[in-house]
Chains A and B, each alone.
Chain A
Amino acid sequence: MLKIENLHVEVDGKEIIRGLDLEVPKGEVHAIMGPNGAGKSTLSYTLAGRDGYTVTDGKVTFRGRDLLDREPEERAADGLFLGFQYPVEIPGVATLTFLKTAVNAVRRQRGEAEYDAMQFMKLVRGKAKDLNISDEMLKRPVNVGFSGGEKKRNEILQMAVLDPAFCLLDETDSGLDIDALKVVADGVNALRGPERGMLIITHYQRLLDHIVPDRVHILAEGRIVESGDKDLALELEKKGYASFGTDRAA
């Protein structure tokens, strides 16, 4: 579903991703683990199409077509969803307005009918309830004044409402206490299915107790240095990143 071949990415003239290969077939959940500064967020932003992340070599295929020449909004419409490590605050734009604009923009690009206010509210209310998101929170400006946990739950809400084919979650677990982590993990697990692919980026093994991956990859210094099944995460937790082809400590 997502295939990355020999990817090289520069930021500010500095090469951060250095020959990365990775394939996530549909129906599978893969995890990427790596130390701080390994390039995990750089990979996420590159896949989502952010300006300033220059691909100098390599190829990314998503659902059978070249991903890298698509605009960010087209990638979203194609079914790629990035859960941000640091969700952005948008003063003045109510969360509900934002969600409705986004879901209808995606549906329009996919040639589907836009939701009217009633359909939309029904959809959001249901998903928000599962994630413990109050009506009051939905009325507040996007992520403004949200706690760390609220921001992450808001990311998962957006994901649930947009119903993407592929979920790329960048450190969705960071800054969450154990209860919030469970809520988020349940939200992610609810979306697992034979048609959907997922790439879960995390620094800690703990999330993978709740979202059990099919494959685990270790990213260090811009490339995948080791791949294995879920036990690799446990091994990594014990031995630390230092033993996996990087001299940086976790």
Chain B
Amino acid sequence: MDSTAEILLERFSAEADADRTAARDRFRAAGLPTPGQEAWKFTNLRPLAQFLDARAEPANDSTPDLPGRLVDGAYRVVIIDGRVDGEASGTGIGGLSLSRGSGLQSGTAGNRALRDLSIAMADDGLRIVLEANAAPAQALELVFIGTGSRPDGHHFTLEMELGANSALTVVEHHLGSNAYAATLATDVRLADGARLRHVKLQDESDAAFHLSDCALEIGRDASCERFVLSVGSRLARDEVHVALNGQGSSVRLLGAYAGRGQQHLDHTTHIDHKVPNTSSHEVYKGVLDDRSRGVFQGGIRVMQDAQKTAGHQLNKALLLSRQAEIDSKPALEIYADDVVCSHGATAGEIDEDALFYLRARGIDAAAAKNLLVQAFLDEVFDGIADEALRERLKDRVHDALQVEGSDHG
């Protein structure tokens, strides 16, 4: 086994159950993913290996400040360095129950190293259960804070179980300071007719690694809308694996990302259309400046039985510097014949005609550029129903992208 995997597994608990031990064994056997593997072709974890090998001193364990809520009035659970802060039980929200505890039940097929690692090593986790027919107006907001107190990595598991015809909004806010490696494995199961709105803001420290694997199982007539905004981390991977298991089920995956400096932001999605009459819709848009690098891998698989499938995927990147780079890989596997699927990927620079037009009206080059970048990204944000949330996320990405000086690119 390689030394990085060794470091990551060092604290493996002797009392671990069979699921965790199996996950540990899988991770140990496969080792840390390398670009030699198809799924990791564009993302090299060597910086993570170097970070772990260097065995940084733990950062001072000061109590971190809590950020403002992304959703007004949301019920909050705070997770610091992979441990739930305080109690997480009675929420007072009708039909919703939370319980602590690490571990995910389901095993996985294929190479899902991040998931295996999180399951094997999580010290803590959260299980969220919503009763059938419950539809709380109040959102649940999970705030994940990294402090750098655990330089060998912190890990967490999240489980969400939505009963039939229930509806819930869950927001994840990931942030932190100092250097750390955070992993997260999530299992979401939507029973028939359930609806989940899932919003994730990845705003980790610039020195952090963020590695997340989310599995979504969607039942009959159930739907999930997921939005991810990635602005933080030096290296981040957001993996989403969707199984459309029931007829009439649908998923919408929206993503926006903004990379600067040497950031590496990877969004990898896989959608399985398993039965007839399911639909998926995917739009990811990114802005990449400096020497940052974006990766988008979008897999759609339509099984033989899955007639009347609609699958649409779009990935667009705006490159603000000549050193910025995007790797985009759509992968469609279609085994049914009566389907409507499309995919498109574009990468381009700022529209010089538009830039000149704005400048000719008195808007300076930097402001004009910002306006165009915002306009490019805003389309994805329009998919967020909650206006206050949408504006907060937009503000965040616009702040992150403020172009300094006017002689960029």
Query: With A and B bound together, what is the CA distance between A101 and B369 in angstroms?
Result: 13
Q: Quick one: which of B367-394 are within 8 Å of A by CB?
A: 367-368, 371-372, 374-376, 378-379
Asked if residues A88 and B362 are in contact (CB atoms below 8 Å), the reply is: no
Query: With A and B bound together, what is the CA distance between A91 and B348 in angstroms?
Result: 15
Asked if residues B361 and A102 are in contact (CB atoms below 8 Å), the reply is: yes
Query: A111 contacts the other chain (Cβ, under 8 Å)?
Result: no
Query: A73 contacts the other chain (Cβ, under 8 Å)?
Result: yes
Q: Interface of chain B, helix or strand or loop or mixed?
A: helix
Asked if residues A50 and B356 are in contact (CB atoms below 8 Å), the reply is: yes
How many interface residues does chain B have, given as a range?
20 to 34
CB-contact partner of B363 in A91, A92, A101, under 8 A? A101
Query: A77 contacts the other chain (Cβ, under 8 Å)?
Result: yes
| Known contacts A51-B356, A72-B359, A92 near B376 by CB under 8 Å | yes
Query: A115 contacts the other chain (Cβ, under 8 Å)?
Result: no
Asked if residues B361 and A88 are in contact (CB atoms below 8 Å), the reply is: no
Chain B min CB distance to A99 (Å)? 8
Q: Using Cβ atoms and an 8 Å threshold, which residues of chain B touch A73?
A: 359-360, 362-365, 368
Chain A min CB distance to B259 (Å)? 20
Chain B min CB distance to A46 (Å)? 12
| Residue of A51, A73, A101, A102 most packed against chain B (CB within 10 A) | A73
Query: A87 contacts the other chain (Cβ, under 8 Å)?
Result: yes
| Known contacts A73-B362, A101-B371, A105-B367, A92 near B379 by CB under 8 Å | yes
Query: A162 contacts the other chain (Cβ, under 8 Å)?
Result: yes
Interface string of B332-356 (1 = CB under 8 A from A): 0000000000000000000111101
CB-contact partner of B361 in A49, A51, A71, A162, under 8 A? A162
Chain A min CB distance to B357 (Å)? 4
Chain B min CB distance to A177 (Å)? 25
Asked if residues A88 and B364 are in contact (CB atoms below 8 Å), the reply is: no
CB-contact partner of B357 in A77, A90, A105, A109, under 8 A? A90
Interface string of A79-99 (1 = CB under 8 A from B): 000101001111111000010
Query: With A and B bound together, what is the CA distance between A202 and B143 in angstroms?
Result: 62
Q: Quick one: which of B84-110 are within 8 Å of A by CB?
A: none
Asked if residues A82 and B362 are in contact (CB atoms below 8 Å), the reply is: no
CB-contact partner of A90 in B360, B367, B375, under 8 A? B375
Point out residues on B near A: beta carbons under 8 Å.
351-354, 356-365, 367-368, 371-372, 374-376, 378-379
List 24 A-B residue pairs with CB atoms under 8 Å apart, sorted by A's residue number: A48-B356, A51-B356, A72-B359, A73-B359, A73-B364, A73-B365, A73-B368, A76-B360, A76-B361, A76-B362, A77-B362, A82-B360, A84-B357, A88-B351, A88-B356, A92-B375, A92-B379, A93-B371, A93-B375, A101-B371, A103-B362, A105-B362, A105-B367, A106-B362
